[in-house]
Amino acid sequence: MTQDTLVHERERLLAELFHELTQPLTTLHCCLELSLKKVPRSAKSRRDLQIALQQAENIAKLIGELRGLLEAGNGINSSHNSAEDFPEPAPSLAWASRCCG
């Protein structure tokens, strides 16, 4: 394999890895948000859901920062430096409500 081929393969594998990391996290985030909408403001479980949602957001941020560091180390010029920048399809709320119902 040539050096260019190896670099391209590594970039492809990194993109696939980050996709695999962010998809379940997106589902988790969506399910937590939907659950929060169903729980009364006075319920103790609401605070637990808020904490879980914050932790999911923290993990997404860390994944975005890790991706930026790896891309910078590989000389990849990318704007994906935060979790919000990941190119993800928007999850279907109907699907998420059935899944997390």
Mean pLDDT of 51-65: 92
Report, as an integer, the average pLDDT of 56-81.
77
Asked whether residue 74 carries a pLDDT value surpassing 80, the answer given is no
SS (H, E, C) the chain: CCHHHHHHHHHHHHHHHHHHHHHHHHHHHHHHHHHHHHCCCCCHHHHHHHHHHHHHHHHHHHHHHHHHHHHHHCCCCCCCCCHHHCCCCCCCHHHHHHHHC
